[in-house]
Amino acid sequence: MKRSEALVLTVGADPVVVEGRLAGGELECPCCGGMLARWGWGRVRVLRGGRGPVRVRPRRARCRGCGMSHVLLPVFVLARRVDLAEVIGAALAAKAAGAGARTIAAAWGRPVDTVRGWLRRFSSRAEAVRVFFTALLVEVAVDPVPPAQTASLFADAVAAVAGASVAAASRWEHVGEAPPWLVAVAASGGRLLAPGWP
């Protein structure tokens, strides 16, 4: 990766808390472990949430050690997606429950091709996602119980995401307040539907 390319780093949803963590030197560079410092802002993006548009202006940070720049995306945003994680996650869960792309698109008021794109991307890596989130579940659960096999690999992957979220909530109380798809965004670094992940 070239030095000029910024990496995406998932951070909390509250910008005031993120600013405080940056100012206090609490955010670590995932490349070298150095301290991240403020380095301007990304452009304002208007994203589509379940209840209407959401304006996001991502903070940018630069590592004081290696010089790598990072775009700090809030945990409710997936990298390179215009829809929030809550919408995409609900669509994936609906597909796992047997709904088709047209039904999901109509329910969320999204173009059918957009929904098909989410479903295809997730489906193309369903086994890798299932393995990743099952391993996360086993790693963090107090008494791990991997999800039972379902009717499809797609549904197995969605069940693994939900199981990992429950496991994280059982280990860390504050995670219990977060919907499963936000846990999935945090665990995937915002790259759940990005090429090359996991």
pLDDT tens column, 1-12 = 444 467 889 999
If we measure between CA atoms, which residue out of 81, 82, 65 comes closest to residue 30? 65
Residues 6+ positions from 44 with CB-CB distance below 8 Å: 55, 56, 57
Per-position pLDDT tens, the chain of length 198: 444 467 889 999 999 999 999 999 999 999 999 999 999 999 999 999 999 999 999 999 999 999 999 999 999 999 999 999 999 999 999 999 999 999 999 999 999 999 999 999 999 999 999 999 999 999 988 888 778 888 899 999 999 999 999 888 888 877 666 788 999 999 999 999 988 888
pLDDT of the residue at 1: 42
Amino acid at position 193, single letter: L
Give the span between the Cα atoms of 194 and 74, in whole angstroms.
16
Specify the pTM. 0.89
Which runs of consecutive H residues, i.e. helices, occur in the chain?
15-23, 85-96, 101-108, 112-124, 126-140, 153-171, 180-188
pLDDT tens column, 8-35 = 899 999 999 999 999 999 999 999 999 9
82: DSSP letter: S
Residues in the chain: 198
125: DSSP letter: T
